[in-house]
Amino acid sequence: MEAAAKLGAVGGAAIHALAGFELPAGEASGTLDTPTYDSYCYDIDRTWAENLASGPSRHQGPQPERVWAPEDKWFDFLGHKLASPLGVAAGPLLSSEWIELAGARGFDCVTYKTIRSHYHAGHGLPNILYLNTEEQLQAAGPTTAAPLQAAPPGSGPRRQLAITNSFGMPSRGPGEAAADIRRAAGLLAPGQMMVVSVTGTPGRPGLSFQSDLEAAARVALEGGATVIEVNLSCPNVGASHVALYLDAPAVGEAVRGLKQVVGPVPLLLKVGAYPDTDSLRRVLAEAEAAGAAGIAGINGLSRRVEAPGGGPALGPDRPTSGVCGDPIRGAGLDFVGQARQIIAADSLGLRLVGVGGVTEVDHAFEYLRAGADVVQSATGFMWRPNLGLDFQRRWVASGCSARGDGRGGR
């Protein structure tokens, strides 16, 4: 691990130089003992394509044994039997190899990363930077306008696991994606399920956003997808896309069009945080009326991120990016609490997936108590190798109860 951390410092030096950081003497040599913040399954100093090619092979140490809930405690989720309500959110599972890893690490509802209808390279490096922040970010509160600061190499966050990511949703071509999706589903155990995330691309010649989105859904179906999640919320792809999840009529239209294509396959909608309860209520009502099966949120909170010396940390063309991990847990829990309250009050038949800042077992139980049917982690999955298996021990010891205290009852 130590050697790997040193290697990470070398790669990190190159990346941070790219991002305009001043490197303290010694760091570029790779001799500095950096804190072990590295993801155990994704090398942030290499491109997405390089990671995809090499697979999730680094830093995989010993792991505790998986504990399974008895089958009579498994529950139905969108037509599947789930052994537990923990999963991985869209993004970190690049291919069938990561799907297999997540399943083996105790994550039962795993989302295959967002695919497009066509090959898309996404952004170059850097794609992930650590953030120097200890605050909890609000969805649309006073911190919205204030920039956050990226951490210089080797001085990443100690208390909070806080990152920003900006990948531009890279995607393999449709044939490769469909074949790998099919392979991935076959690698999961009974009690586990896979969701396939899709998105549309604005501005493709001769295609509307909607028809491109539907084409992406067809790729997922070709791969045998049994649940499809539509990413309506990615903060990184330009103005026309940013607001879709906030625009209730547009959400309804997108879902109605997609339902024509996917038929009985359940549709989850991936959304970001809402500025107020009324706008969330309008979207939930439209989503249900149009035939969506559930809602998943939140995506990373979009913020300006600056390098320590000033200027956009990801370069001038990417002044904002999605903040993920610990700082957004409060916003994610607020979203789930409000959505659960609306679903109950308005008798909506929507399932609810909670996402945002789940980096410890306790956080997952907080989400379940707030009303999530399923809770997923992205950053926590990538940086905490035993999060899933530790969760499973607590889940089973607690009698499969959201209280997580052994007193039973969800």
Ligand X SMILES: Cc1cc2nc3c(=O)[nH]c(=O)nc-3n(C[C@H](O)[C@H](O)[C@H](O)COP(=O)(O)O)c2cc1C
Sorted by sequence, the CB contacts under 8 Å of residue 128 that are 6+ apart come out as 44, 163, 164, 165, 166
Residue 26: CB minimum distance to ligand X, A: 29
Residue with the shortest CB distance to ligand X:
91
CA-closest candidate to residue 105, choices 147, 137, 65: 65
Q: Which is nearer to ligand X, 16 or 116 (CB)?
A: 116
d(CA 400, CA 311): 48
Residue 301: CB minimum distance to ligand X, A: 8
d(CA 280, CA 287): 10
Enumerate the β-bridge partners of residue 164.
129, 323
Residue 376: CB minimum distance to ligand X, A: 7
Active site residue 234: yes
Sorted by sequence, the CB contacts under 8 Å of residue 73 that are 6+ apart come out as 83, 399, 400
The two structure tokens encoding residue 11: 């790669």
Q: Which is nearer to ligand X, 32 or 368 (CB)?
A: 368
Residue 73: CB minimum distance to ligand X, A: 25
130 in helix, strand or coil?
strand
Residue spans of alpha helices (H) in 263-405: 277-290, 329-345, 361-370, 379-383, 387-397
Q: Which is nearer to ligand X, 69 or 324 (CB)?
A: 324
Residue 299: CB minimum distance to ligand X, A: 4
d(CA 86, CA 4): 29
Q: Between the CA atoms of 48, 51, 53 and 58, what dihedral angle is there, to the nearest 10 degrees?
A: 180
Point out the catalytic residue in the list 41, 109, 234, 324.
234
d(CA 187, CA 179): 13
φ and ψ at residue 377, rounded to 5 degrees: -125, 145
The two structure tokens encoding residue 300: 């990373």
Residue 369: CB minimum distance to ligand X, A: 17
Q: Which is nearer to ligand X, 136 or 399 (CB)?
A: 136
* Tokens 């069009």 found at: 257
Q: Which is nearer to ligand X, 27 or 366 (CB)?
A: 366
Other CB atoms within a 10 A radius of the CB of residue 79 amount to: 12
Q: How far is CA 242 from CA 225, 271, 276, in A?
A: 26, 10, 17
Residue 16: CB minimum distance to ligand X, A: 18
d(CA 269, CA 266): 10
Q: Between the CA atoms of 281, 284, 289 and 293, what dihedral angle is there, to the nearest 10 degrees?
A: -160
Q: Which is nearer to ligand X, 152 or 380 (CB)?
A: 380
Q: Which is nearer to ligand X, 34 or 111 (CB)?
A: 111
Which residues contribute to the site for ligand X (CB under 6 A)? Answer: 89-92, 113-114, 165, 167, 169, 197, 231, 234, 270, 299-300, 324-325, 328, 355-358, 377-380
Q: Which is nearer to ligand X, 133 or 299 (CB)?
A: 299
d(CA 346, CA 289): 12
Residue 199: CB minimum distance to ligand X, A: 7
Enumerate the β-bridge partners of residue 353.
296, 374
Residue spans of alpha helices (H) in 131-276: 174-185, 209-222, 239-242, 248-262
Which residues are known to be catalytic?
Answer: 234
